[in-house]
Amino acid sequence: MTKEKAQALIDKYLAGTCSAEEKQLVESWYNKWASSQKRMSGEPDYGNIQRMTYERLPLKGRMHRTAWIRVAAAAIVLLAVAGALYFYMSTIPHTETAMASVSAVVPGSNKAILTLADGQKINLTDADSGEVAGQVGSRIVKQADGQLTYLDATEHRGHGERYANPVSYHTLKVPKGGQYRIQLSDGTKVWLNAASSLRYPSTFTGTERVVELTGEAYFEVAKAASSSSKGGKTPFRVIANGQEVTVLGTHFNVHAYADEQATKTTLLEGKVRVSSMTKDISCLLQPGEEALFQDNRLQVGHADIEQATAWKNGYFLFRRVNIQSVMRQISRWYDIDVRYEGAVPQDEFVGKIPRNAPIEQVIRVLQLSNVHCRLENKKLIITHSIL
């Protein structure tokens, strides 16, 4: 392959327009290069990589040189890698303390605590597959794949009073460093991200289905409750951080962490209405749109579906986001604290990292993007950017 054709192929890769075969070829080039860097005694000249990248940018894209260098350099390093940086960091001292810090931090996994109406707590992380509880018209079963499923227990009535009590509310809490999936009694499926919780009735009755969310969750709402709707459609409502999302049957993501500036609802399928619970404002979303709710104001815009659902699909996706946003996601997933020393880097980042990547890979990515950081026990300290 000629130099010109190779350059054109790399351009297509960075633009996201190459075929699967072309993508595999470019990434194989990078993997070979990365392997060769492991055998080198010195560090690659990343400053030269940045200069070359900047020179390739269109003139209209050079208004903010420093920020664009960071974005472009990170694009080459992160997007070309696409999760392939599985080599150890040559720039981090391999002292016993450093190695102990790395080994103490692992990617998140399926973890959750189920709290029943009577206050009983069930650690689903350690629970065996099978029925974990049975009450209030439902059998609660942990499936072999880890999903928690609420099954209708109406047929069990008459065999005891176990399901004869009024409807009660349960809470599924996912800690930092965890994720979990649940199927509610109406068939609605919910994926909960790290540091999130969902409060819901053990079985849905009446004319609506209401759940309360903190953190982030992806919903696939059943179009009708299995027993209470009697063939009709019962509205499903999600209450989260001062806003309310009302649907009849749809797929959407709600990002509602308390430490984020805004709550974001992203619609993939169907229709949802997003409303403020304190002011008379609302908006109706169409597929491919998102609503930003901040300071009792709603703003509707085009949604980046891939970025909004990346966590559910097993990876981090950063498209021109600041270091604080990157660190909040990493902190929740790896269950670590983040601290900044000196000036906080203000440039934007682009990249894609698998969520099962070891913490040393994440640190390596930050270093390749010229962010100084170190891991001390379970605390990631960001010092400063060298740009």
Chain-centroid distance, C-alpha 169: 26
pLDDT in tens, 65-79: 444 444 444 444 444
The DSSP 8-state label assigned to residue 307 in this structure reads H
The mean pLDDT value for 208-230 works out to 81
| Distance (Å) of CA 69 to CA 12, 76, 98 | 19, 11, 30
Give dist(CA 134, CA 138) in Å, integer. Answer: 6
Q: How confident is the model at residue 381 (pLDDT cuts 50, 70, 90)?
A: very high
Helix (H) or strand (E) holding 40: none
- The mean per-residue pLDDT over the stretch 244-257 comes to 94
Phi first, then psi: give them for residue 42, nearest 5 degrees.
Answer: -110, 175
pLDDT recorded at residue 42: 46
Which regions of the chain carry the CATH code 3.55.50.30?
A: 43-105+313-387
Mean pLDDT in residue range 58-67:
40
Percent of the chain with pLDDT strictly greater than 70: 68
Tens of pLDDT along 338-360?
999 888 877 788 888 899 999 98
- DSSP for 159-228 reads S-STT-SPP-EEEEEE-TTEEEEEE-TTS-EEEE-TTEEEEEESS--TT-EEEEEEEEEEEE--SS-SSS
* Confidence at residue 108, expressed as pLDDT on a 0 to 100 scale: 92
**Strand order of the sheet with strand 337-340?**
337-340, 379-385, 371-376
Q: How far apart are the C-alpha atoms of 160 and 239, rounded to whole Å?
A: 35
As a CATH number, domain 109-308 is 2.60.120.1440
Q: Which residues pair with 267 in a beta bridge?
A: 252
pLDDT tens, position by position, 282-308:
999 999 999 999 988 899 999 999 999
Residue 199: per-residue pLDDT: 98
Instruction: Extract the tokens encoding 39.
Output: 């055998």
43-105+313-387 folds as Phage tail protein beta-alpha-beta fold (3.55.50)
